[in-house]
């Protein structure tokens, strides 16, 4: 059995206990490796991209079958974890895509779902309106419904992954880790408590902090942006907005998405548009009046029953975008035993299990690298290609 105290080193030290880092640590531990997991603020802390109440898990990705397949594997892993821990980590609300006539992305989604064997339905506006009277839809709209998809309870889910990882043998610590300062193989890193962290491999899964940890390499390749989540109180005694009767939904044409009233926390409605740059350490987490106004204008059109609904909760998180919105999972070009895992880009949370699986394959040399995840594909100008 691996004994880090006796050996005075770890097989792998994972820096960052968000969704990617937590699943990476758990996946490595399941392979029998000695793993240290470190986070500067704590798993799913309020500053993290992995924090907050909920995240969508969907199979549809337009023509991007790569991410559809990853979502399929990840959903199965999330469901196994929920069953094992008896924690409510996933709400099977179904996911409703709202498309328009001639919408190429939604048509491509339809094709990939069929090819991947994902259960789904194509619905016209009349069918959607009859099934979901909460929505107010235009005649030219149509939709795709994924009945097996839904919402993950984000903060709770990450904390459960970390707990399970610790139970499996991962050691968790709260500390700052200084990045490597010289080129070549890294033997050890210094923690904020002055302890030396020694490991054979170091994985930095720091989310929005990656550009701070590696400013020369990623300072212009990672784009943390301010994103605002709003929760509106449904009418009293009105059950149409609960998870049993309202689906999670995505309206890319309006740059909006949302979820039903999960855990009686309110109906979530958010703008899917990159916000202003954000510093994850120092940013004040207060939502803007402009954001509330924009979402309310959308509510009047799409959910008229909620037109006067009170804002019952709101929070600011961040996207951690790469230039093209593909993940960044690659070896550091200056350190052969340092890996970078990030670039969630607003769609990554759901993929935590598949990312952990992929990182293990790369570290153990048992899987082919995905070129799209390489540093070489990440530019310094944002041009979103994954939605």
String of DSSP letters for 78-117: HHHHHHHHT---EE---EEEEEETT-HHHHHHHHHHHHHT
269: Cβ–Cβ under 8 A, 6 or more apart, which residues?
230, 231, 232, 256, 257, 258, 295, 298, 299, 303
**pLDDT at 329 (0 to 100):** 98
Rounded-to-integer distance, Cα 93 and Cα 8, Å: 47
**pLDDT at 182 (0 to 100):** 85
CATH of domain 1-62+85-90+150-222+322-387: 3.50.50.60
pLDDT in tens, 96-151: 999 999 999 999 999 999 999 999 999 999 999 999 999 999 999 999 999 999 99
The answer on pLDDT for 155 being more than 90 is: yes
**What ranges do the domains of the chain cover?**
1-62+85-90+150-222+322-387
Average pLDDT, the chain: 95
Model confidence at 8, pLDDT cuts 50, 70, 90, reads low
Phi, psi angle pair for 9, to nearest 5°: -160, 165
The answer on pLDDT for 92 being more than 50 is: yes
pLDDT in tens, 45-56: 999 999 999 999
DSSP assigned state of 53: S
* Section 14-40 average pLDDT: 98
**pLDDT at 124 (0 to 100):** 96
The answer on pLDDT for 206 being more than 60 is: yes
Rounded-to-integer distance, Cα 69 and Cα 87, Å: 25
**pLDDT at 5 (0 to 100):** 45
Secondary structure percentages of the chain, helix, strand, coil, to 5:
35, 25, 40
CA dihedral 229, 235, 240, 246 (to 10 degrees): 0
The answer on pLDDT for 380 being more than 80 is: yes
CA dihedral 80, 84, 89, 95 (to 10 degrees): 30
* Section 76-91 average pLDDT: 98
**pLDDT at 4 (0 to 100):** 47
Model confidence at 6, pLDDT cuts 50, 70, 90, reads very low
The answer on pLDDT for 2 being more than 90 is: no
**pLDDT at 237 (0 to 100):** 87
pLDDT in tens, 351-365: 999 999 999 999 999
Phi, psi angle pair for 328, to nearest 5°: -115, 105
Query: C-alpha 307: how far from its chain's center?
Result: 29
pLDDT in tens, 320-358: 999 999 999 999 999 999 999 999 999 999 999 999 999
* Section 368-387 average pLDDT: 96
* Section 158-184 average pLDDT: 95
**Contact predicate 345/221, CB 8 Å:** no
**pLDDT at 176 (0 to 100):** 94
pTM higher than 0.85: yes
Rounded-to-integer distance, Cα 88 and Cα 86, Å: 7
C-alpha to C-alpha distances, 329 to 9, 169, 313, 369, nearest whole angstrom: 24, 24, 34, 9
Token pair, residue 85, equals: 């821990």
**pLDDT at 194 (0 to 100):** 76
- For tokens 């803007």, what's the residue? 288
The answer on pLDDT for 1 being more than 60 is: no
């Amino acid at each position: 059995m691996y004994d880090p105290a006796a050996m005075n080193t770890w097989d792998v030290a994972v820096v960052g206990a968000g969704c990617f880092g937590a699943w990476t640590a758990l996946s490595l531990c399941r392979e029998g490796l000695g793993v240290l997991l470190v986070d500067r603020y704590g798993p799913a802390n309020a500053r993290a991209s992995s924090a907050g109440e909920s995240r969508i898990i969907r199979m549809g990705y337009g023509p991007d079958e790569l991410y559809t397949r990853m979502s399929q594997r990840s959903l199965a892993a999330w469901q196994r974890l929920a069953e094992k821990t008896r924690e409510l980590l996933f709400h099977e609300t179904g996911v409703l895509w709202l498309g328009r006539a001639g919408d190429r992305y939604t048509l491509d989604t339809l094709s990939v779902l069929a090819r991947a064997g994902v259960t789904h339905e194509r619905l016209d506006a009349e069918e959607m309106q009859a099934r979901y009277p909460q929505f107010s839809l235009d005649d030219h709209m149509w939709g795709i419904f994924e009945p097996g998809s839904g919402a993950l309870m984000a903060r709770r889910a990450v904390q459960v992954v970390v707990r399970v990882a610790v139970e499996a043998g991962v050691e968790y610590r709260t500390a700052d880790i200084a990045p490597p300062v010289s080129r070549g193989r890294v033997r050890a890193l210094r923690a904020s408590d002055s302890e030396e962290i020694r490991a054979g491999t170091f994985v930095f899964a720091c989310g929005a902090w990656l550009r701070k940890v590696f400013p020369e390499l990623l300072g212009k390749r990672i784009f943390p942006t301010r994103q605002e989540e709003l929760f509106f109180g449904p009418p009293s005694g009105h059950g149409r907005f609960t998870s049993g009767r309202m689906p999670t939904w995505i309206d890319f044409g309006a740059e909006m998405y949302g979820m039903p009233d999960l855990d009686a926390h309110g109906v979530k409605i958010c703008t899917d548009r990159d916000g202003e740059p954000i510093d994850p350490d120092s940013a004040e987490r207060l939502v803007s009046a402009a954001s509330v106004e924009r979402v309310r204008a959308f509510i009047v059109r799409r959910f008229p029953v909620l037109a006067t609904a009170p804002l019952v909760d709101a929070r600011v998180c961040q996207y951690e975008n790469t230039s093209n919105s593909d993940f960044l999972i690659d070896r550091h070009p200056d350190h052969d035993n340092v890996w970078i895992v990030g670039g969630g880009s607003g769609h990554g949370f759901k993929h935590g299990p598949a990312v952990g699986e992929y990182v293990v394959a790369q570290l153990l040399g048992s899987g082919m690298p995905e070129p799209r995840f390489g540093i070489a594909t990440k530019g310094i100008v944002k041009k979103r290609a994954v939605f």
